[in-house]
Structures are given as structure tokens and as C-alpha cells.
Structure 1
């Protein structure tokens, strides 16, 4: 018995090391994305309040399209991880090039959506004084859509191959290039006119393209994927491969959209409660968003670990990867929760000097501390299921948890029961807790029952299996 326990501890330690090694660069890359948003807010805010408001509204609208496109592109990572685990590297290059075709299609949709967002802007009641600048910001940023989608295709290739350092490097690269670009285009430096919100959109579009081009050059001239001939040719679209990526990716896009929509709509509802409520909510959400990068990075790493194990057909490794990820996120979330609950006033004071805002933000930070565990478990369990290419049931679960449990509960407590912004946050806790419980239960069922094997077929395996089935029916 002692020897078995020792072996289990050793295996757990190995899995922890492997997961953390993958996750740390991913966390840094995600924090870089948060940093890019912070740069936009800071430079726009120092220009003038009008520009800050226009950029903030435009960014919220852009996020809805962004998470949809990124969700679809995230299908590449588990697909590559499974091929890599199955020692079928020769199929990674062709699949990657099909993902580039998919990225091109998603770019067109994102570009079109950003340039035709007027109905949504009117629906959410954007101040008419801001409308022109919000539109200018979105129109300029829309030209960055190909850069964004292509960048995530490259990320999916690298992350699925258990190589996460480029995510960190080019995330930081994007942050570094955005600072001078924002400064030049918003304020009108180096001979350029001052363009305000429009300039911020141009700067972000340029940064996205520079990220893509630098990343592509790094892969083309590097040694890591030289055997794959990634850019040696470009096949015609293989609709079967693209359909397979969409089959995995569209549910992920809906899942991300449901979660992003929950927080965006919550913010819009809270905006009816006055300036203090808006500011307090924004502070608490900003803090929670930063701490969320820890479990998100772990979730992305767990997707790769689970996918690689599934590709090998190793059921035991699949379970170890998923449950180790959940254990790690409980540790990170315990740290975040302790911080929020123990010094909420000190954290709020960093953002505001208004005593009323600090008092409300401190209360919300305590609530944020409470949902740290459910938020961490839901994102890591979802990441583990992604590694198995199980994305449709998680889509239904998150839709139910956020929009049948979370939003109605929060809206009723906030406006029906008169608890204001605190009531809306209790609704967020309810939705995230429901999602965590249901997604974790789904993971336990799928990993232990090995139902995941039917999800692990790649497009190329599917051809073989279907052909064999047809031959069997025809008596060949």
C-alpha cells in the first residue's frame, strides 16, 4: 500500500510539474492581453473622458465578436494535441493549413460584424454624443480581424504541440508595440494627426497584424516545426477538416459568448444603478479579471495535457491530467480568495479615493472572493473537456448555468428584491457555481466512463473509420 501511495504521489508531482510548465507562459500571455486593454484605457483616459468612454464602449462590443472568433479557433489546440499524442505529426501541418482557411473565414465575419454594429449600439442605448467615435473605433479595429484570427491559429498550433513559450513572447510583444502605437495615434505624435478613439482602433489593428507577422516569421525561420513544412504550400480548403474544426469550435465560441454576455449584460444592468454602483462594480471586476488569468492559463494547459493523453489512448493519463488541473486551480483560487477577503478596502483604495466607491467595491470584492473557487473549477473542467473534444454538452451546461440560473437570479435580486449591485453579484455567484458543479460532474462522467474515445477522432481517422464501416456493411 505504501509503495502504491508513493507511486501516486510521484505521478501527481510529475503531472503538476508538466502542467505548471505549460501554464506559466500561458498565464503570462493572458496577462499581456489584459495589459493591452489597460494601455488602451489609460492612454484614452489621459487624452479626455469622451475618448475613454468611446473606447470602453467599443471595446465591450468588440469583445463579443472576439470571443466568438477566438472560440472557434481554439478548436485547433486539442486537435493538434491529440495528433501529437498519437505520434501523427505528419497530419499536423495539413490540419494547421486548414485552420488558416478557417481563420480567413472567421476574419471576414468578425470584420463585417465590427463594421455593422450600429443596431447593437442603438439597442444598448449608447450616448448619441459617443456614437460616431465608437463607430470610428470599431471600423478601424475591424481591419485587425485577420491578424487576430491568424494569431490564434498559430497559438493553437504551438499550444497543442505543448510549446507555450511563444504565447508569452508574442503576447508581451503585442503589449510592447501597442504602447507607442496608441501614443502616436491617439495623441497625434511624430507628424500624425491626433485621432482619439479612432486612433486607438488603428493602433490596436496594427498591433494585431504585427503580432501575427512576427509570430509567423518566428515559426517559419525557427527549427521547432521545420519537419512539418507549415508554409511550404497551401492546399485547397478541405471541407471535412474544416467541418471537424467547426464541430469542436462553434460550441466553444457559444460557451465563451454566453460567459462574456453574462458579464457584459450584468454591467449594462448595473449602469442603471448610478455612478457609485458602476465604479464599484468595475473595480471588483477588474481585480477578478486579473486573478482569473491564473485558472485560465491552467485550463489552457490542461486542454493540451488531456488532449495529448487522449491521442495516446491513455485513459489513466487523461484522468490524472484533468484532476491535477482542478487541484492546482483550487490552490491558486485559495490564494486569490484570501487576498480579496482579507484586504478588500486596501485593494479598492488603489483604484479610487471616493469613500462610497471604496466601501461598495470592498463588499463586492468579498463576493468575488467567494466565487473564486467556482470560477476556477468551471474554467478548468471546461478546459479538460475541451481536451477530449467534448464541447457540445459544456455549451448547453454554461448556457443553462449563466442564463437560466445566474442572470435571472441576479436581475431579480438586484431590481426585484432591491439589493442593487450586490444582488447582481449574488446572481453571478449562483451562475458560476452551477456551471462549476455541472461541468465537473460532466468531466468525472466522461473521464471515468471513457466515453471520450468517440470524441477523439480527427477528420482523417473519421475517414478511415467510416470507410471501414461501409466496407463491413457491404460485406467486403
Structure 2
């Protein structure tokens, strides 16, 4: 039976929800780890919370590079799976392991230099020991996280997202228990304060990897691809393709994530109270961002499957549906923040100066919710089309040429403080949303025109 265009839009929206629901569960679990870290460190005071903020921001910078490069596995596998090409699915999965190996060496080594690069960028002395200790502790989990990403994006590309959700729940549970043990010195463990968050997270990352590995190795849905029959030698054309797609994704994620890291580092130079208030506002904003991020990832997968079947017009519609869903969700998020910013801040800490600053910054976060949703939805749709290079350039321009310049000049150079830093974030995200939507319109129009003109 032939579906009308309206019926097909409904079917595609349901497919995005079906794929994105488990990814949302995973994303909320991962963010739940950061939420638990923030709340539990907040009970120890501004120094521990501020040190955690700087340490987590530094870790995120390294993580963005890793999962950005490995994210190329998802649309590549999705295209191959949509075209019923099992051989290519296997090739992409196995070659991603070589990317994991190289990234693990590079990123672990970089994180071990935290005692050098954090003082070099002017982090306040009161939070520096905690920040360095946190980065050193969590660095031991980086190899596991990268291996987990390889398996995750392979499973995503196959449309199998529920296992990712369950491993996320496992990680959250282990992280909270580990925090209780290592932060507060329970069950005979030393009381490490916020550094204990890094220890607990590293342990949870290894358990998440082993759990997903066991599932992929044993579940019958993965047997046709025979991922673990052997380790293939490096296939340079496949690695080049993954890198060509993944490097710009990493660049885009680094551009956006790096802007927020830079903002955290700017706050770190303003003292413990400012860093702590920023961490609370950013943590809650990141928590809400997990919903459109899941929709964006699901959009990438569904666009890839649809293009793999040769349906360019259908893939274009899927992308617009994903962008619209992200925009709606973040509009609701903005309304919640505007109505409840004081109550949200009070959930995190009893420190009055920290809570008051966090409530103010949450109002700034409400202003960029819509833009943040639109830009992440458009980015996911473009990745489904394997269009990543130009979007990276647009992100770098939006976040760094405009957003960072505004935030640093007004917030730091002119000494206007944290509110102006957050206005800079708003400006960067808004420009990014406009440019990425325009890029999606151009790419899909061009691809659809080429598909119509192609001889049968």
C-alpha cells in the first residue's frame, strides 16, 4: 500500500521516536552521572564543586575529540545497513577499532598533562589541586569510553539502540555508588572528595564497555556481521572515509563543546563561587540538551537508512522532522527554566551566593534553548547525509569567531562578569542554528535535484 506524504511523515516521526527513546535513556544516564557528581560535590563546598567544574570541562574537551571521530561509524553503518550491504557494515565496525587504538594513546597521554596545562591557562589556585586530581583519575577510563563509542555507534547504525540505554543505566548506577564510596570514604576507601568522582566514573566506563561488548558478541542480531571473527589489518581507504566524515564531526563538536569548556575556564579564573554557579547552570542545561541530542542521533540513523534505500526525498523529510522535534522540545525546556530557575538552583547546593548566581545564569540558559535545539537537529540531519565539512566551518565561525569573542571581550577583558559570558554563548548558538538550517536546505535541494536528473 502506498502511503500519503502526511502518513509517511507520521511513520518517520514514530521511527525517530523509536530510535531516539533508548538513546535518550542513555543520554540521561550519562548526564545523570554529571548531575550526581555535581550534587554530591556541592555538599562538600565551593572548592570541590569548582574543582569538579574545571576538571569535568577539561575531560569533556578530550572526550569531544574521541566521540566526534568515532561518530562517523554511525552514518556509515546506517547507509550500508539500509543498502543491505553486510560486508560494508562489518568493514566499518572493524576499522573503527583502529581509530579507538590511536585515540586511546593520544587522549590518555594528553589528559595526564593536566598538572601542566591547567596552571598554564590560569586556573585559580584554590580549585587547581581538585581539578588536576579529577582529570588524572578519570583518564584511566578514557580507553574504555572510546571502545564503548565504537560499539555504540555500530549498534546505532544498525538501528539497535536499546542495548545502549541499558548500559547507560548500568553506568549511572555504578557511578553513584562509586561516588558515595570514594568521595566520602565509605567501606574503608579513602575520602577523596571531588577527585573520587573521577575514580567512580572511570570504573563505570569500563563496566559499560564490557557490558556492551558482551551483548554485541552474544546477541543473535549481530551474528550476520561476524564482527569478532578476526581483527582485520588497517584498511586505509575505509579509515580515510571514516576520518573524512568523522574529523569534521569532531571539529564541530569541539567548536561547540570547546566554547562551553572555554566558558568554564573563564569562570575558573573568577574564583570558586563563580565556577560553582556556572557548573550548576551548565549541568542543568546539559541535562535538558540530552533530549534533542537523542533526537538528533536518531535522525542521523533514520536519514542514513532512508538514503541507503535510495530515497533522497524521504531522507530530506526525515531531517526536517528531526529538526522540528528538537525545536519543540527545547521551547518547552526554556519555559520550564523561566518558571523554575530558583528552585532548580536550590536542588544543587545550599550555598547562598552560589545558588543566586546559578539561578541568574539559568535565565541566560533559557534564552538559548530554542537555538540549541535547532542547531543540534540540523547537525544530526546533515550527518545523515554525510555532510560534515562545511557544517564544521559554520560551527567554528559561529562559536569562536562570534560567540567566544563576544564572551571573552565583554565577560573577561572588560570585566562585566559571568552573565556577559553566557550572553556570548547565546549569540554563538543562535548564529549556528541559522547557518546550519540554511546549509541543510541547500544540501537537500542539491541532492534531490541530482536524484531527479539521474537517468534510470
Q: Distance in 2 between matches of 1:135 and 1:355?
A: 27
Q: Distance in 2 between matches of 1:149 and 1:452?
A: 38
- Answer whether contact 2:51 2:130 (CA < 8 A) is retained: yes
Indicate yes or no: 2:56 matched with 1:73.
no
- Answer whether contact 2:66 2:146 (CA < 8 A) is retained: yes
User: Which of 317, 322, 325 is matched with 2:322 structurally?
Assistant: 325
Write out aligned runs for 1:249-398 (5 A). 249-272=246-269, 277-352=274-349, 360-398=357-395
Tell me what 2:454 maps to: none
User: Which of 218, 222, 225 is matched with 1:225 structurally?
Assistant: 222
Q: Distance in 1 between matches of 2:445 and 2:283?
A: 37
Tell me what 2:161 maps to: 164
Following superposition, the deviation at residue 379 of structure 1 comes to 0.6
Mark the CA change 1:129 to 1:273 in structure 2 (over 3 Å): closer, same or farther: closer
Q: Distance in 2 between matches of 1:172 and 1:362?
A: 29
Mark the CA change 1:49 to 1:161 in structure 2 (over 3 Å): closer, same or farther: same
- Answer whether contact 1:330 1:376 (CA < 8 A) is retained: yes
Mark the CA change 1:43 to 1:158 in structure 2 (over 3 Å): closer, same or farther: same
- Answer whether contact 1:136 1:198 (CA < 8 A) is retained: yes
Q: Identify which range, 367-376 or 126-135, moves more after superposition.
A: 126-135
Q: Identify which range, 233-242 or 430-439, moves more after superposition.
A: 233-242
Unaligned runs of 5+ in 1: 455-476
Following superposition, the deviation at residue 345 of structure 1 comes to 3.3
- Answer whether contact 2:296 2:381 (CA < 8 A) is retained: yes
Q: Distance in 2 between matches of 1:410 and 1:19?
A: 35
Indicate yes or no: 2:100 matched with 1:103.
yes
Q: Identify which range, 345-354 or 292-301, moves more after superposition.
A: 345-354
**TM-score, normalising length from structure 2?**
0.91
Mark the CA change 1:429 to 1:94 in structure 2 (over 3 Å): closer, same or farther: same
Q: Identify which range, 294-303 or 44-53, moves more after superposition.
A: 44-53
User: Which of 5, 8, 12 is matched with 1:8 structurally?
Assistant: 5
Deviating above 6 A after TM superposition, structure 1's stretches of 4 or more consecutive aligned residues are 451-454
SS of residue matched to 1:143: helix
Unaligned runs of 5+ in 2: 452-456
Following superposition, the deviation at residue 342 of structure 1 comes to 3.1
- Answer whether contact 2:51 2:194 (CA < 8 A) is retained: yes
Mark the CA change 1:361 to 1:193 in structure 2 (over 3 Å): closer, same or farther: closer
Mark the CA change 1:101 to 1:416 in structure 2 (over 3 Å): closer, same or farther: closer
Following superposition, the deviation at residue 109 of structure 1 comes to 0.9
Q: Distance in 1 between matches of 2:68 and 2:144?
A: 15
Q: Distance in 1 between matches of 2:55 and 2:132?
A: 7
- Deviation track 1:399-440 (CA, whole Å, cap 9, x = no partner) reads 000111111223333356765333222221111111001111
CA RMSD of aligned residues (A): 2.6
Q: Distance in 1 between matches of 2:382 and 2:228?
A: 31
Following superposition, the deviation at residue 214 of structure 1 comes to 1.0
Mark the CA change 1:162 to 1:227 in structure 2 (over 3 Å): closer, same or farther: same
SS of residue matched to 1:450: helix
Following superposition, the deviation at residue 200 of structure 1 comes to 3.6
Indicate yes or no: 2:244 matched with 1:247.
yes
Q: Distance in 2 between matches of 1:349 and 1:39?
A: 15
- Deviation track 1:51-110 (CA, whole Å, cap 9, x = no partner) reads 544443322211110111111111100000000111112321222111112111111111
User: Which of 123, 126, 129 is matched with 1:126 structurally?
Assistant: 123
